[in-house]
Structures are given as structure tokens and as C-alpha cells.
Amino acid sequence: MKLPNLLTLTRVALAPVYLLLLHISGQAWRDYGEVNLPATLAAEAVLLAAIVSDALDGYFARKLNQTSDLGIFLDPIADKLLVLPPMLWMMGMARIPAWPVIIIITRELIVSALRLLAASKGTALAAGFTGKAKTVSEYALLAYYTLRGSAYAGDKPVLPWVCAALAVISAAEYFYKNRAMLAALFAPDGKVLSDGR
């Protein structure tokens, strides 16, 4: 097993641990109106460890030239397991508003479907800079709201909407960068059109 894949699998394993600790912390706030500090700090520590593993798996894959089909398959799954369930949980606990989460999930479903379609045709769709910025913003959102504990309760939270905006922008960049390849996937003759339409 290559090191980058081990790091990715570590992130997969840490995702449910983070969610469980987040739930334990949230139960204390909901039931008693106070933060369960050990669970909250443990959840934050597990999240940070998972974020570090995300940074390191890409670094070592490039540094050691250890990219693999397994890694390409697992990495986006690990990212979504780490980000989307906690966001849904936070939405249910009213820590973050619903609409940004709905926008983010919709983006992930559309882009993932297109990536699977491209993979079935033996091609890979390239991600862009804004996709990385989206991921960083989502990690920042999770880190902040893990420590916050309480519901947003009528506040005007900016960070969830920043994440949603980056999700939309990154999806647009994704479609634009891969427009020729996407056109080839849907073209009747299977040929890439010269102008990318």
C-alpha cells in the first residue's frame, strides 16, 4: 500500500470519529446549554488531523510519484465523507443555515456524476484552483463551527455563504476547463469539437 493511499484511508477512518465526537459535543449543548469541552477539543483535533492527511497525501503522491487509480478514486470520496455529513449535522443542529449546505451538496452531486461519467469513458476531468479554495473554505467552516458549539440563532453567518459561493464558482470553472472533454462525452460521434462546444 502506497503512503498517499494510506493517508487517504486514514482520512476515511477519521471522518466517522470526527462526526461522533461532534455529536457528543452537540448533545451536551442541546441538553444542558454548555460545551462538552473534552469532546469539542477532541473533535477539533481529529478534524485537524484529517485536514493534515489531506494535504500530505497530495504532497507525497507528487513528491514520490505515487499517484494511482485507487488514490484518484478514494481521495474525493474521503473529502466528501469528511465534509458533507458534519455539514448536514450542523444544519440539523441549526449551527449553520440550510441553503448554503444544499448548494454545496448539489454541486458535489453534479460534479461527482460528471467525473464518474468521464471515468467510465476512460478520461479524467481536471479540477481547478477554485476547487481547492472551496475545500479550504469548507475546512475553515467545520473548524469554526466545531468550536462554536451554539446555534447561529439569527446571526448573519458569512462563512457558509462564502463556501456556497466558492462551490458555484468552482463548478463553473470545472465545466469551463473541461468543456471540450465534456462536449466529447455528449457528442453523438464521440469527437471533441474544436471550439469546445
pLDDT of res. 141: 94
pLDDT of res. 31: 64
Q: Identity (one letter) of the amino acid at 155?
A: D
pLDDT of res. 65: 82
Contact criterion met (CB below 8 Å) for 30 and 94 = no
pLDDT of res. 64: 83
pLDDT of res. 193: 42
pTM for the model stands at 0.85
C-alpha 182/C-alpha 166 separation (Å) is: 21
Contact criterion met (CB below 8 Å) for 57 and 79 = no
In degrees, to the nearest 5, what angle opens at C-alpha 130 toward C-alphas 65 and 78? 55
Q: Which three cell numbers stand for residue 71?
A: 488514490
Q: Burial of 165 by CB count in 10 Å (0-12 exposed, 13-18 middle, 19+ buried)?
A: middle
* Region for 149 from its dihedrals, namely left if φ exceeds 0, alpha if ψ lies in -120 to 50, beta otherwise: left
Domains of the chain: 3-186 (1.20.120.1760)
Which residue ranges in the chain fall short of pLDDT 70?
Answer: 1, 30-33, 69, 124-127, 149-154, 188-197
**Exposure b/e, 131-164, CB count within 10 A at least 16 = b:** bebbbebbbebbeebbebbbebeeeebebbebbb
Neighbouring CB atoms inside 10 A of 38's CB total: 12
Non-local (6+) Cβ contacts of 11 within 8 A are 50, 53, 54, 57, 78, 79, 81, 82
Per-residue H/E/C for 156-191: CCCHHHHHHHHHHHHHHHHHHHCHHHHHHHHCCCCC
